[in-house]
């Protein structure tokens, strides 16, 4: 019975080639979209956490507010004096780098390039894992007086100087001219996929005075001596900052101390949300595919009901008719699911390479998308048939 | 004619469509006995219950009341599946509207009952080809209904009904959609099955010319059998 019914199902598929094709296509597109989106999202998350863990585990970041990223503007910034306080009171702190960010266009002769400028101290290079390709970092007096000197990232060098050595040249930034004293070795892309070499570093005071126009410090980077307990340092930092920022016993912190793991979590949290969003968008396409299938099935329900009537009238059992429709639905939706998976795998590998993120095969989402598509096929292919097959043959034949 | 058990016996068959106020009694108690090998024409004005009776005889529909015995078996007591098997092994249908599977070749249409019966492929093909040849359609095996004339489609339907060698052929206005010449060809064909293969034929028709082919004519009026007579000049 199974073999014969399979034959009947395959004949029915062949007989309604266009309908079969459209049904399958709806599933292919839905499955491929969901799998591709989720796979790429997973790859992006993975690449972010890879890069952050390569930053090393002895780095702490002190940021104002309770959230990293947008939304932290409300809380008070840090002060230059915080740096000295941390240096003085937390013995395990190896480097303490205050950071303030600004963006500006740098001009050299006929070239100009808009980039991000960080104001900090010499510790910035050590804590951030920067090495010099040539030149030097800031002197004590340059930092104190806020002289207009700068260290260029590789990308800025390339845009303004081409292959020339920039050290000793003067770059114009806004209204002042700035002497290039050093060049950073390239670090490549950041965890978030931005170009880390697209940067200019200047003394903190220089940026505060000439670009930001305030005494604020946006965040603090603190590296901890090897062997020291990160958690203990975090604790000390929290206590110290609560005291310095006059936070009462019952009040919550208005700043946050994060280690690399937490930074990774915060950043990958964003890409995870993004993955979920993309997945949701793709799931909608799977749903739309499903509705398309439902539409195709409903349009053909009259014809198929009469077909069922014909089959019943020549002596088919109800269960044979149902099995045929079930096989049809399963064959089409698994075929669609299979093609969708193959397509998604090809697209994911290609796009992952293009985006420079790892390709991670996720069996869960493949299985889920496949099962969902099969369910759609079966629901929309099988259940209308079940109604028709339970009719009196004559009612099925007369259906209109 | 066997004096004991007719092939088909209807006793007080009623059929009511709808319920309550809208209820309509299409059959008001049909009593009929049909012997094996008969060629019966059923006539009557439109709405007199001919098709309703045919559908009940063919197990395509269930009566509201009364008893229906087929070879002594009470059909009204059979399950849905048993009635399907009765259709599969004992009954063949020909409808006014042909009821062939669209976009399916003549051969595959004719094969269909044999697939459900579980015949092996080779036998099935041979039997279907032979049935098509029998109705004069050799060479048309791979044409779909859309590529066939009405008469040819009805031949395919007859081949499909006969390929499983049923005991009874039920035909509801088989020539209703066909011109006179084609109708006569179809009637000749049905007559041949009746005479040469001993198949019992029950046929609804509006045309007295077609009823001429039958050995017995039953007249329906308003859900009752009014006249039941033997054709003297059998063809
Ligand atoms: N499914 C149905 N629901 C309600 N009433 C029905 C149904 N089928 C038939 N009837 C009614 O039952 C009566 C008998 O119908 P039937 O089809 O048996 O007539 P008929 O003798 O075959 O007529 P015709 O010669 O026009 O085919 C008609 O009055 C019809 O309106
Ligand atoms: Mg009728």
The 10 Å Cβ neighbour count of residue B60 is: 26
Residues of chain B with pLDDT under 50: 1-2, 234-235
CATH top class, domain B8-230:
alpha beta
Distance B220 CA to ligand 1 centre (A): 12
Strand bridging mode A59-64 / A255-259? antiparallel
| Ligand 1 atom nearest to B220, measured from its CA | 21
Residues of chain A with pLDDT under 50: 69, 72
Using CB atoms within 10 A of its CB, is residue A199 exposed (0-12), middle (13-18) or buried (19+)? Answer: buried
Q: Where are the domains of chain A?
A: 2-51+265-398, 76-253
Chain A residues with CB under 8 Å of B85 CB are 315, 317
Does the beta-carbon distance from A310 to B100 stay under 8 Å? yes
The structure tokens listed for B65 are 């009341």
Using CB atoms within 10 A of its CB, is residue A398 exposed (0-12), middle (13-18) or buried (19+)? Answer: middle
Q: Rounded to whole angstroms, how far apart are CA atoms B93 and B116?
A: 15
Say yes or no: A396 contacts chain B, CB-CB below 8 A.
no
Q: Please report, for residues A280, A287, A289, B32, the alpha-carbon distance to residue A30 in angstroms, rounded to integers and kept in the order given.
A: 11, 7, 6, 59
Say yes or no: B16 contacts chain A, CB-CB below 8 A.
no
Ramachandran class of A246: left when φ > 0, alpha when ψ lies in -120 to 50, beta otherwise:
left
For A311, half-sphere exposure in the C-beta direction (CA atoms, 13 angstrom radius) is 29
Chain B residues with CB under 8 Å of A309 CB are 99
For residue A46, the model assigns a pLDDT of 84
For residue A276, the model assigns a pLDDT of 85
The CB of B49 under 6 Å from ligand 1? The reply is: yes
Does the beta-carbon distance from B60 to A392 stay under 8 Å? yes
CB burial string A311-336: b at 16+ within 10 A, e below: bbbbbbbbebbbbbbbbbbbbbbbbb
For residue B68, the model assigns a pLDDT of 97
For residue A97, the model assigns a pLDDT of 93
For residue A55, the model assigns a pLDDT of 66
Using CB atoms within 10 A of its CB, is residue B126 exposed (0-12), middle (13-18) or buried (19+)? Answer: exposed
In this prediction, does ipTM exceed 0.90? yes
For residue A105, the model assigns a pLDDT of 92
Distance A399 CA to ligand 1 centre (A): 15
For residue A400, the model assigns a pLDDT of 78
Say which residues have a Cβ less than 8 Å from residue A55's Cβ, sequence separation at least 6. A129, A191, A260, A263
Strand partners, A180: A150
Please say whether the beta carbons of B39 and B198 come within 8 A: no
Please say whether the beta carbons of A200 and A106 come within 8 A: yes
Say which residues have a Cβ less than 8 Å from residue A167's Cβ, sequence separation at least 6. A134, A135, A180, A181, A182, A183
Polymer length in residues for chain B: 235
The 10 Å Cβ neighbour count of residue B138 is: 11
The structure tokens listed for A23 are 């049904």
For residue A56, the model assigns a pLDDT of 64
For residue B1, the model assigns a pLDDT of 45
Q: What are phi and psi of A224, to 5 degrees?
A: -110, 140
Say which residues have a Cβ less than 8 Å from residue A283's Cβ, sequence separation at least 6. A34
Using CB atoms within 10 A of its CB, is residue A385 exposed (0-12), middle (13-18) or buried (19+)? Answer: buried
Chain A residues with CB under 8 Å of B112 CB are 311, 314
Does the beta-carbon distance from A15 to B103 stay under 8 Å? yes
Strand partners, A176: A173
For residue A288, the model assigns a pLDDT of 82
The structure tokens listed for A266 are 């915060």
Q: Rounded to whole angstroms, how far apart are CA atoms B235 and B215?
A: 8
pLDDT in tens, B12-41: 999 999 988 889 999 999 999 999 999 999
Please say whether the beta carbons of B66 and B113 come within 8 A: no
For residue A126, the model assigns a pLDDT of 87
């Amino acid at each position: 019975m199974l073999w014969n019914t399979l034959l009947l199902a395959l004949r029915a598929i062949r007989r309604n080639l266009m309908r079969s094709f459209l049904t399958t296509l709806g599933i292919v597109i839905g499955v491929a979209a969901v799998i591709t989106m989720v796979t790429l999202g997973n790859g992006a998350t993975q690449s972010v956490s890879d890069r952050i863990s390569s930053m090393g585990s002895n780095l702490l970041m002190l940021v104002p507010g309770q959230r990293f990223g947008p939304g932290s503007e409300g809380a008070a910034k840090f002060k230059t004096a915080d740096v000295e306080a941390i240096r003085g009171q937390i013995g395990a702190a190896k480097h303490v780098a205050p950071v303030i960010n600004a963006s500006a266009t740098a001009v050299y002769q006929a070239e100009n390039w808009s980039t991000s400028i960080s104001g900090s101290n010499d510790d910035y290079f050590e804590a951030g894992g920067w090495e010099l390709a040539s030149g030097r970092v800031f002197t004590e007096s340059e930092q104190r007086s806020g002289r207009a000197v700068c260290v260029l990232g590789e990308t800025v060098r390339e845009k303004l100087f081409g292959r020339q050595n920039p050290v000793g040249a003067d770059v114009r930034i806004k209204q002042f001219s700035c002497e290039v004293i050093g060049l950073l070795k390239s670090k490549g892309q950041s965890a978030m996929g931005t170009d880390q070499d697209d940067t200019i570093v200047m003394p903190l005071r220089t940026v505060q005075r000439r670009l930001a126009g305030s005494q604020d410090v946006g965040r603090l980077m603190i590296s901890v001596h090897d062997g020291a307990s990160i958690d203990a340092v975090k604790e000390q930092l929290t206590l110290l900052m609560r005291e310095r920022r006059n936070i009462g016993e019952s009040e919550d912190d208005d700043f946050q101390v994060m280690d690399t793991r937490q930074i990774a979590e915060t950043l990958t949290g964003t890409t995870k949300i993004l993955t979920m969003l993309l997945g949701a968008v793709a799931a909608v396409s799977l749903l739309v595919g499903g509705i398309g299938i439902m539409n195709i099935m409903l349009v053909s329900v009259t014809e198929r009901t009469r077909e069922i009537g014909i089959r019943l009238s020549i002596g088919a059992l109800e269960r044979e008719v149902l099995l045929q429709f079930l096989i049809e639905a399963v064959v089409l939706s698994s075929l669609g699911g299979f093609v969708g998976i193959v397509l998604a795998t090809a697209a994911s590998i290609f796009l992952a390479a293009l985006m420079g993120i790892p390709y991670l095969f996720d069996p869960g989402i493949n299985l889920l998308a496949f099962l969902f598509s099969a369910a759609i096929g079966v629901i929309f292919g099988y259940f209308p048939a079940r109604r028709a097959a339970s009719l009196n043959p004559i009612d099925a034949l007369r259906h209109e | 004619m066997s004096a004991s058990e007719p092939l088909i016996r209807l006793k007080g068959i009623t059929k009511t469509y709808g319920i309550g106020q809208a209820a309509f009694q299409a059959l008001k108690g049909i009593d009929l006995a049909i012997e094996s090998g008969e060629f019966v024409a059923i006539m009557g004005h439109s709405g007199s219950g001919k098709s309703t009776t045919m559908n009940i005889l063919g197990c395509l529909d269930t009566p509201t009341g009364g008893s229906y015995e087929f070879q002594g078996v009470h059909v009204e007591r059979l399950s849905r599946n048993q009635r399907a098997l009765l259709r599969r092994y004992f009954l063949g249908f020909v409808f006014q509207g042909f009821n062939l599977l669209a976009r399916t070749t003549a051969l595959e249409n004719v094969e269909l009952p044999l697939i459900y019966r579980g015949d092996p492929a080779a036998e099935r093909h041979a039997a279907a080809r032979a049935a098509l040849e029998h109705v004069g359609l050799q060479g048309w095996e791979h044409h779909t209904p859309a590529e066939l004339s009405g008469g040819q489609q009805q031949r395919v339907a007859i081949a499909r009904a006969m390929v499983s060698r049923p005991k009874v052929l039920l035909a509801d206005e088989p020539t209703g959609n066909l011109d006179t010449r084609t109708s006569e060809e179809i009637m000749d064909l049905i007559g041949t099955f009746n005479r040469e293969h001993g198949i019992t034929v029950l046929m609804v028709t509006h045309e007295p010319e077609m009823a001429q082919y039958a050995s017995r004519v039953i007249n329906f009026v308003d859900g009752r059998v009014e006249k039941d007579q033997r054709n003297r000049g059998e063809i």
